[in-house]
Amino acid sequence: MSETFDYVIVGAGSAGSILANRLTEDGTKSVLVLEAGRSDYPWDLLIQMPAALPFPAGKSLYDWRYETDPEPYMDGRRVKHARGKVLGGSSSINGMIYQRGNPMDYERWGGDDGMENWNFAHCLPYFKRLENTLGAESSDEYRGHDGPFTLERGPAKNPLFKAFFDSAVEAGYSRTPDVNGYRQEGFGPFDKHVHNGRRMSASRAYLRPVMNRKNLTVKTRAFVSSINFDGKKATGLTYTRNGRTHHVTAGEVILSGGAINTPQLLQLSGVGEAEHLRSLGIEPVVNLPGVGENLQDHLEAYIQYACPQPVSEQPNLNKLKMPWIGLQWIFGRKGPAATNHFEGGGFVRSNENVDYPNLMFHFLPLAVRYDGQKAEAKHGFQVHVGLCTLMRVDPSKFVPLIQKNIRVWCTTIFQLNKIVVSGWKPYELHGRLCHSLLWLHIIQVKFLLVLKFKQMMKYWIG
């Protein structure tokens, strides 16, 4: 069966949802969106209910469930790597923290040859265009006020947030009114992709409102297996749906399958480093070294504490309380289930030699893992510490991610070796990090668990 569209988009994730909306806006072009995952049904609590965020990751209904090969610098541990496989893509299973990059990152991009249009002055209007920032004054020039992504701020009312912010100030860091505004550096409440108690995914913001446009067709459970070429020109795609193979021709093929699937689809279709493709039995169409290499990501580790004072949100993880919390959410979109709980945090520089923040802190007034497991404490909290500069994999050691059998997909992702992070000294980070954590003063902090801390330091230091 063959179909024809002006544009065919692979993947209805964050990028695909926005593209589908914008390309069909003036009604003149026909657009087909092919999404391998299922729909983000309005009744699907694990997607729609913000506090259910630890549950979809790791489940095949929502997640591609990648994991790395054994990491040589992490005692052979495999690192799980979630990627959304559902309408909305990763924005339907993510942590819902809304965070722009630091303006200086875009300045750095803009400094590269041919990249002038990626400096902050060029990017800012696009950020503003997508935001409807409820937490900002309408006169705030740095934030958008009528875009499709309605963003709620904080409110970070749990007393542990105050303790966290106060302790940051006592440790010598500053407060900032808006980590996405004029000044990122400092601590304060975060904006979140949550509105009226529901997840504000890219699908909810951009795709669902326009699903009835006549020139837009969205197919879920449609798995794209190859790009079709006429010479070196992409002319369409092959995909399977309900066990049947389909061919679609397109004026333009747009790949928005995410950082792992997009290069993989290119490689499987013959676009990549020619010798490498031949070694896998794939006939190259375009010799394009770089495809499937240079994957970048940001590392985050979290540190959990028991909290002797009964002020955390931990009791809400009690299974006996969950039915009541669920009912509050179902009938009123209210209560502890109506937030992602990542309501505040901060950005700091790890040492004087870096010009702008390279570390981020997310604070959670409960202790829980991304797979839904909670810590063995009546009350707890945790601090996520992450790199806000991207970590780069050592290209000389990197093993490209493709595997020939497309149903197995890739297992090797990072092969983490020495990670190159500009201006970052791990020892100093360790010192300052401990310093700020020790200042959590209104609670008698009892050290509960430092997640694989030894491994983590070994991994950071290399």
Ligand X SMILES: Cc1cc2nc3c(=O)[nH]c(=O)nc-3n(C[C@H](O)[C@H](O)[C@H](O)COP(=O)(O)OP(=O)(O)OC[C@H]3O[C@@H](n4cnc5c(N)ncnc54)[C@H](O)[C@@H]3O)c2cc1C
- Name the residues that contact ligand X, by CB under 6 A: 10-16, 34-37, 57, 82-85, 89-91, 93-97, 99, 223-224, 256-259, 261, 265
For residue 425, the minimal CB distance to ligand X (Å) is 27
Instruction: Give the burial string for 211-231 (b: 16+ CB within 10 Å, else e).
Output: eeeebbbbebebbbeebbbee
Q: Nearest-CB residue to ligand X?
A: 13
**Residue 276 contacts by C-beta under 8 Å, 6 or more apart in sequence?**
400, 402
Q: What is the 3-state secondary structure (H, E, C) of 411-425?
A: CCCCCCCCCECCCCC
For residue 308, the minimal CB distance to ligand X (Å) is 29
Distance of CA 241 to the CA centre of its chain: 27
* Residue found by looking up tokens 């947030």 in the block: 161
CB 47 within 8 A of CB 95: no
The residue among 65 and 418 lying less far from ligand X, judged by its C-beta, is 65
For residue 382, the minimal CB distance to ligand X (Å) is 15
Tell me how far apart the alpha carbons of residues 151 and 178 are, in angstroms, rounded to a whole number. Answer: 13
For residue 235, the minimal CB distance to ligand X (Å) is 17
Alpha helices (runs of H) in 242-342, residue ranges in sequence order: 258-268, 274-279, 322-332
For residue 124, the minimal CB distance to ligand X (Å) is 17
For residue 195, the minimal CB distance to ligand X (Å) is 15
CB 126 within 8 A of CB 118: no
The residue among 261 and 304 lying less far from ligand X, judged by its C-beta, is 261
CB 359 within 8 A of CB 344: no
Q: Which run of H or E residues covers position 19?
A: helix 14-23
Alpha helices (runs of H) in 189-306, residue ranges in sequence order: 202, 258-268, 274-279
Q: Which run of H or E residues covers position 17?
A: helix 14-23
The residue among 2 and 60 lying less far from ligand X, judged by its C-beta, is 60
The residue among 23 and 171 lying less far from ligand X, judged by its C-beta, is 23
The residue among 213 and 221 lying less far from ligand X, judged by its C-beta, is 221
Beta strands in 242-396 (DSSP E): 244-255, 271-272, 286-287, 296-297, 300-306, 344-348, 359-364, 380-387, 391-392
The residue among 91 and 314 lying less far from ligand X, judged by its C-beta, is 91
The residue among 181 and 257 lying less far from ligand X, judged by its C-beta, is 257
The residue among 142 and 223 lying less far from ligand X, judged by its C-beta, is 223
Alpha helices (runs of H) in 333-448, residue ranges in sequence order: 426-438
The residue among 407 and 454 lying less far from ligand X, judged by its C-beta, is 407
Tell me how far apart the alpha carbons of residues 203 and 87 are, in angstroms, rounded to a whole number. Answer: 6
For residue 234, the minimal CB distance to ligand X (Å) is 14
CB 356 within 8 A of CB 349: yes
For residue 287, the minimal CB distance to ligand X (Å) is 22
For residue 310, the minimal CB distance to ligand X (Å) is 28
The residue among 144 and 379 lying less far from ligand X, judged by its C-beta, is 144
Tell me how far apart the alpha carbons of residues 278 and 270 are, in angstroms, rounded to a whole number. Answer: 9
For residue 441, the minimal CB distance to ligand X (Å) is 28
